[in-house]
Amino acid sequence: MSKLFRRAILAAALAVSAAPAMAQPFPSRPLTVVVPFAAGGPTDVIARLVAEGMAKDLGQPVVVENVTGAGGTIAAARVAQARPDGHMLLVHHIGHATAATLYRQLPYNVETSLAPLGLVSDAAMTIVARPDFPAADLPAFIAALKAQGDGLNLAHSGLGGANQLCGMLVQQAAGRALTTVVFRGSAPALQEMMAGRIDVFCDQATNTAPFIRDNRIKAYAVTLDRRVEGLNLPTTAEAGAPGIAMSTWHGVYAPAGTPEAVQERLATAIRAALREERLRARFADLVTEVATAEQATPAAHRRHLAAEVARWRPIIQSAGVYAD
């Protein structure tokens, strides 16, 4: 009996030592959040605030890494190909959804290669023009675009960017193509608009709000279905152009195949981050809304992503504008 007992103890010890790594508590080491855009921009600021709050809840450092290029697809591909253990994540905006159509040869599938964990923010776009643009309201603005067409120029900061997508909706509403001028970012485009050399722009309220409040550019509407606090502007629907409706939303993703329990733990950490007062105050400074607790769930994020992919596909295909 003594020999059998010793063998049983030895077998139990071997079983414990051979337990798979997945049995370790999550997270077992620092996490990395990959951001597809340069440090200092709106997506980077949002990602760093979310990462800071998640680190507090998870009890591990969360390091932000900026991986730029190809409209965010290089960063997305990197995370899609990472080990699916929840330690490498992606924070991306609406461009993740539109990449499904803008890029015809992606090394990953937008809807199946990454697991949505939760939405974190929602920002309005604003339709703006040079300070002396003669139209008094949005209907008159659209009528001017119809009348002058390519005699007017429209700024954007690259294919797949939110301002380029919004500009597509503006041109669609006018039924005319404007002459597009591409900048390396919103800041130089706005500077040229204030100087009177750019006629039309559609950009995040995050970027335009200070200039709208100072009357340095002319603003017509916000593209959400609700008004934005601090900006005395109608919604596009209120102003008679419901087709110009969109937002710049951000969400967090993990590689597909990440265990469900890990996904839920990460989603819980995201919601904890969104409750942080520092994050909420900073989002308000950025004229950006914090996602609700329901929006910051894998299921809600998955539905939203699918709806955005479906919505933008015919718009991009109709325009015939592709990034590859």
> For residues 98 and 17, which has the higher predicted lDDT (pLDDT)?
98
DSSP 292: P
Span of 123-137, 157-171, 239-253, 275-289 with lowest mean pLDDT: 157-171
Q: Measured between alpha carbons, how far is 225 from 241 in angstroms, rounded to an integer?
A: 11
316 three-class SS? helix
Helix, strand, coil percentages for the chain (3-state, nearest 5): 45, 20, 35
Check whether 16 has a pLDDT greater than 90: no
What pLDDT band is residue 7 in, cutting at 50, 70 and 90?
Answer: low
**Is 3.40.190.10 the CATH number for 124-222?**
yes
Virtual torsion, Cα 247, 249, 255, 259, nearest 10 deg = -120
CB neighbours of 263 closer than 8 A, spacing ≥ 6?
86, 115, 117, 254, 298
What pLDDT band is residue 324 in, cutting at 50, 70 and 90?
Answer: confident
How many other C-beta atoms are found inside a 10 Å radius of the C-beta of residue 229?
A: 8
Domain boundaries, the chain: 30-122+248-319, 124-222
Whether 30-122+248-319 and 124-222 share one fold: the answer is yes
For the chain, percent of residues with pLDDT exceeding 70? 93
CB neighbours of 19 closer than 8 A, spacing ≥ 6?
none
> Any idea which fold 30-122+248-319 has?
D-Maltodextrin-Binding Protein; domain 2 (3.40.190)
Q: Measured between alpha carbons, how far is 22 from 114 in angstroms, rounded to an integer?
A: 20
Span of 14-23, 107-116, 291-300 with lowest mean pLDDT: 14-23
User: Which residues in the chain belong to E strands, given as ranges?
Assistant: 31-35, 62-66, 88-93, 114-129, 153-156, 179-182, 200-204, 218-222, 247-255, 288-290
